[in-house]
Amino acid sequence: MDWSTYRSSTWDELIADGAPRPELGPLADYLAALTVSDVRARQRAAEAAVQAMGITFTVYQDGANLDRAWPLDVLPRVITTQEWDRVEAGLLQRMRALNLFIDDLYGAQKVIADGVLPAELLADSANFRPECCGISPPQGVWAHISGCDLVRDGDGTIYVLEDNLRVPSGVSYMLENRKITKRVFGDLFRDLDIQPVDDYPARLYDLLASLTPRRGVEPALVVLTPGVHNSAYFEHAFLAQQMGAALAEGSDLVVDDDDVVWMRTIDGRKRVDVIYRRIDDLFLDPEAFRPDSMLGVPGLMRAWRSGTVAIANAPGAGVADDKVIYSYVPELVRYYLGEDILLPNVPTWRCIDPAERSHVLAHLHELVVKPANESGGYGILIGPRATPEELDEYRIRIEADPRNFIAQPTLAISTAPTLSGGQLAPRHLDLRPFVLSGDRAYVTRGGLTRVALREGSLVVNSSQGGGSKDTWIVDPTVGARP
Amino acid sequence: MTLLSSAAESLYWTGRYLERAEGTARILATHTALFMDLPRSAGLTWAPLLAITGTSDQFDELYPAPDEDHVVEFLATDGANSGSVVRSLEQARFNARVTRAIVPRDAYEIINDVHRDAAERAFEAVPRRSRLAWLSYVIDRCRAFIGVIDGSMPRDPAWSFLRLGRHLERADLTSRVLDVRAGALIEAEGAGPGGPSGELDPEELQAFADLQWIEVLRSVEAHQAYRRKVHSAVGGREVLAFLLQDRLLPRSVLHCMEQVSSSLAPLRHPDELVERCTQIQRYVAHARLEVLERDGLREWVDDLQVLLGQLHDEIGAAYFHAPVVAPTAHDDA
């Protein structure tokens, strides 16, 4: 197709100067030969496959939980292996440092004693769990599974936008997207060297099994879900199925007086060794946290503390999701590893610092301001798009609680061609790779690309109308020209 | 392979609800076909379908009269009827969703599709021109589910619970069809010429009775098999024997009960469950057909229903709702 009329306002992942990026190798020729009607036909095939395969996500609307078909834009987002190797090294470095950091916070807190992190940050952290102090989980790892959000700026730099160390979701959709694109782009999978992603469930199983407190016995694994009404239930069931683990709700598990966790089975009770929990900390155990939680298992923290069961991610791991702590990650990498950070953070002003705060307040209309402990894009102020009233209101909120806000420059987040109204148009996107940390660390080859489907929009969350793309890590030196 | 009690219960219900959807669709389809064959003067009505599904009272609250369109709508698509085809599929899907980690993916996709399509095309269920196509689609998909299950699922406890639900539901439905349809036929024969269809001559009456016995067989997919086995004309005693006691017929009550027993066999099964199954099998195998073909069929089926209900409750107590905190002999510590 003729790409000469395709214009992105920023860096585009596939197209530059009116033609497919030559650095993509044979794929660039393929994109040049593609027609819009061909893409449309493949999009229809993809949507039919999503329906038939029952790939859904759940939205809460009008008091009911509704299953929606998973939105996939069929044209993939492509990254070269050479670039991906650098991203992977950066993610591994980051997770090494963050796990050392969390372990330190719940242990000796040397990072505070040495003056790297201000003590008051910890005292006010919404996701710091004093209940976890003094605990040493197996291998010293707290955040076993993480999903960092990456974005690319207009100059091509890839930044880490945020860390998700609590219960990051989306990996099942990464795997499903690949199944669909294999169906509808089968020809390309023959001609190109697209790196596989399907080994994730096996890697996740190996990681979880390695945490078992009972050596020499085949570990009993459980995926702990809040239940069928949770927006990520599809993923919980998917991962349990892929790993051959039991998919349990809190009511399926019991902790006895000896702090051992059991599941209710048709053969009576059976001991549980490892819990991959997809429930937030505060709902995990009504004995330890919110007493009104119906989702959790009374006594689970007792059991975890006494080491009879492993929990991934460990309770309290979310402390590093705090966006103020995020801003310290470059310092943490240097402090724990003695290295320079490989994958940069977005430059961040901390409102807790008086000088930085006055800069933020003076430039509010140019900046993106984020609350420290929200996820899913909630509570964010996008300065250039805010009304004067919204700016004033936000100014008051920052001054009232400066510790809980950070500000970043507005990035010119990259785009990729996306079907919209039957035509290919540039749409903004991000990328969530998944990192497994344990005896052997692992990064997915690619990840889940989320794309904003409306023109100019930066909202990629599926709950708010965002879509997704398959992510192809491709070696441009391999493959036949079409 | 560990099977959570809650998952086992969902598998059991998935099996039951899918079988209920298929069975209800089939009695609607066979009754529709019979209706097309019989003249109005034969006095056939739609009320027996309400009796078979045990929904007469609920129907009367919602609809003015048991005419064709209302009964079909109520049994096929009505959201207010928890036993309608669409609601059964919905509940099968809900339960299958909870067991998505266990049910083969292709099988889940079938439930997902048939539930969505049947509900979206609900308007096709009532008009005669589209009804049979709608019903056969549902029946066909339910069979496809069983095909995937049987072709790809390991014979582990999860499979046993799906089968358990399916065969208990089958036994239940076959006995209800016999109760209502065969019971009515026997009573009409007992009344002799000049009974409810007094305008018809005896020859016509016999022809219509034959057609109705055939419907009884078709309602549980047994007509062709019956023809192969019993070469004489269709008669009450033979049909009763076939649908109750034929060990080789997939939907006979005895065959279903044997399947229930063999589903339980590889599970940890308390003695009282085994005893209950044996009791039901004996009850069916030793039924005195020479008496039932003349009188007392309804009371006999009522007692069978009570036994099936007890078995259902005992399965729940043994596997789904057993107390857990107290140590059991089966602890795997």
In tens digits, chain B (333 residues) has pLDDT values of: 789 999 999 999 999 999 999 999 999 999 999 988 888 877 889 999 999 999 999 999 999 999 999 999 999 999 999 999 999 999 999 999 888 889 988 899 899 889 989 999 999 999 999 999 999 999 999 999 999 999 999 999 999 999 999 999 999 999 999 988 888 888 777 665 444 445 567 777 777 888 888 899 999 999 999 988 887 777 788 899 999 999 999 999 999 999 999 999 999 888 889 999 999 999 999 999 988 888 889 899 999 999 999 999 999 999 998 776 544 444 444
For residue A350, what pLDDT is reported? 93
Of the candidates A320, A335, A372, A326, the one whose C-alpha atom is nearest the C-alpha of residue A115 is A335
Cis check: omega of the bond before A313, within 30 degrees of 0: yes
Q: What is the pTM of this model?
A: 0.88
Residues A296-316, mean pLDDT to the nearest whole number: 96
**H or E stretch covering A323:** helix A323-326
pLDDT per residue as tens digits for the range A60-79: 766 666 678 899 999 999 99
Residues 6+ apart with CB under 8 A from B191: none
- Is B331–A247 a contact, with Cβ atoms under 8 angstroms apart? no
User: Which has the minimum average pLDDT: A119-128, A168-177, A207-216, A233-242?
Assistant: A119-128
Q: What is the mean pLDDT of residues A298-312?
A: 96
Q: Indicate yes or no: CB of B3 within 8 angstroms of CB of A252.
A: no
Instruction: Count the neighbouring beta carbons within 10 Å of the beta carbon of residue B313.
Output: 12
B324/A contact by beta carbon, under 8 A: yes
**What does the pLDDT read at residue A377?**
66
- What is the C-alpha to C-alpha distance for residues A332 and A339, in angstroms, rounded to an integer? 9
Q: What is the DSSP string of A390-432?
A: HHHHHHHHHHH-GGGEEEEEPP---EEEEEETTEEEEEEEEEE
pLDDT of B300 reads 94
Average pLDDT, chain A: 92
Residues in chain A closer than 8 A to B330 (CB atoms): 267-268
Contacts with B267 from chain A: Cβ below 8 Å: 266
The residue ranking higher by pLDDT, A256 or B40, is: A256
Interface check B137 vs A, CB under 8 A: no
Model confidence pLDDT, tens digit, residues A99-114: 999 999 999 999 999 9
Compute the Cα dihedral for A257, A259, A260, A265 and give only its sign: positive
pLDDT in tens, A377-435: 678 898 998 999 999 999 999 999 998 899 999 999 999 999 998 999 999 999 999 99
Longest dimension (CA), chain B: 75
pLDDT tens digits, A4-50? 999 999 999 999 999 999 999 888 888 899 999 999 999 999 999 99
CA distance A230 to chain B (A): 12
**C-alpha dist (Å) from residue B202 to A179, B101, B198, B205, B209:** 66, 59, 9, 5, 10
Give residue B333's pLDDT.
43
Q: Where are the domains of chain A?
A: 15-474
Beta strands A381-382; A367-371: pairing state: antiparallel
Q: What is the pLDDT at residue A325?
A: 92
Q: Which two tokens stand for residue B301?
A: 């089926």
B2 with A220: Cβ contact below 8 A:
yes
Average pLDDT over residues A116-140: 90
| Cα A4 to the center of its chain, rounded Å | 34
* Residue contact A264–B327, C-beta within 8 A: no
- The DSSP symbol for A347 reads P
Return d(Cα A358, Cα A351) in angstroms, integer.
8
Q: What does the alpha-carbon distance between residue B272 and residue A384 come to, in Å, rounded to a whole number?
A: 73
Cα distance from N-terminal residue to C-terminal residue, chain B: 15
Comparing CA positions, the residue from A27, A3, A29, A31 lying closest to residue A17 is A3
- What is the least distance, in Å, from the CA of B95 to any CA of chain A? 10
Q: Which residues contact A145 (CB under 8 A, 6 or more apart)?
A: A168, A204, A207, A276, A312, A313, A434, A435, A436, A437
Please name the residues between 84 and 123 in chain B that touch chain A, using a CB distance below 8 Å.
94, 97-98, 100-102, 105, 108-109, 112-113, 116
- Sort out which chain B residues have CB atoms less than 8 A from A247's CB and list them: 4, 7, 100-101
How far off is chain B from A81, nearest CA to CA, in Å? 32
Lowest model confidence (mean pLDDT) among A141-150, A333-342, B211-220:
B211-220
- Shortest Cα distance, chain A CAs vs residue B331, angstroms: 6
Q: Which residue has the tokens 């269809």?
A: B197
Q: What is the pLDDT of residue A61?
A: 67
For the purposes of burial, counting CB atoms within 10 Å of the CB of A131, is it exposed (0-12), middle (13-18) or buried (19 or more)? middle
φ, ψ at A408 (rounded to 5°): -135, 155
Q: Using the Cα atoms of residue A263, residue A265, residue A269 and residue A273 in order, give the sign of their dihedral.
A: negative
- What's the pLDDT at A457? 85
- Taking alpha carbons only, the member of B225, B283, B226 closest to residue B253 is B283
Place of tokens 């470095």: A93
Q: How confident is the model at residue A57 (pLDDT cuts 50, 70, 90)?
A: confident
- Residue A123: helix, strand or coil by DSSP? helix
Considering only the beta carbons, identify the residue of B1, B7, B333 that sits closest to A271.
B333
Asked if A247's CB is within 8 angstroms of B101's CB, the reply is: yes
CB atoms within 10 A of CB B153: 16
- pLDDT, residue A376, reads 62
Q: Is B333 an interface residue toward A (CB < 8 Å)?
A: yes
Q: What is the reported pLDDT for B325?
A: 53
A-chain residues near B108 (CB < 8 A): 54
Tokens 């053969």: give the residue: A267
Say whether B58 sits in a helix, a strand or coil: helix
Residues whose CB is less than 8 angstroms from the CB of residue A472 and which lie 6 or more positions away in sequence, other chains included: A27, A76, A77, A78, A79, A192, A194, A195, A446
- Within 13 Å, how many C-alpha atoms sit on residue B181's CB side? 32
Report pLDDT for B227.
87
DSSP state string for A53-111 = HT-EEEEEETTEEEEEEPPEEEEEEEEEHHHHHHHHHHHHHHHHHHHHHHHHHTTT-HH
Q: What is the pLDDT of residue A296?
A: 92
CB distance B244 to B280 below 8 Å: no
CB B130 within 8 A of CB B115: no
Up-side HSE of residue B297: CA atoms within 13 Å toward CB?
Answer: 26
**Helices within A162-299 (DSSP H only):** 171-184, 186-191, 200-209, 233-243, 281-284
- Whole-Å CA distances, A391 to A52, A351, A361, A370, A399: 46, 15, 9, 13, 12
- pLDDT of residue A482 exceeding 60, the answer is no
Q: Identify the closest residue of chain A to B106 by CA–CA distance.
A: A53
| Percentage of residues in chain A having pLDDT higher than 70 | 97
Residue of A nearest to B104 (CA): A241
What is the reported pLDDT for A84?
A: 97
Q: How many CB pairs under 8 A join A and B?
A: 91
Task: Please report the DSSP string for A169-209 in residue order.
Answer: --HHHHHHHHHHHHHHTHHHHHHS-BPP-TTHHHHHHHHHH
Phi, psi (5° rounding) for residue B255?
A: -60, -45
CA A427 to chain centre: 20
Q: What is the mean pLDDT of residues A116-142?
A: 90
- Give me the pLDDT at residue B23, please: 97
Q: Is B3 on the interface with A (CB under 8 A)?
A: yes
Are A271 and B328 a contacting pair at CB < 8 A?
Answer: no
Query: Average of pLDDT values for A348-357?
Result: 93
Q: Which amino acid is at B15?
A: G
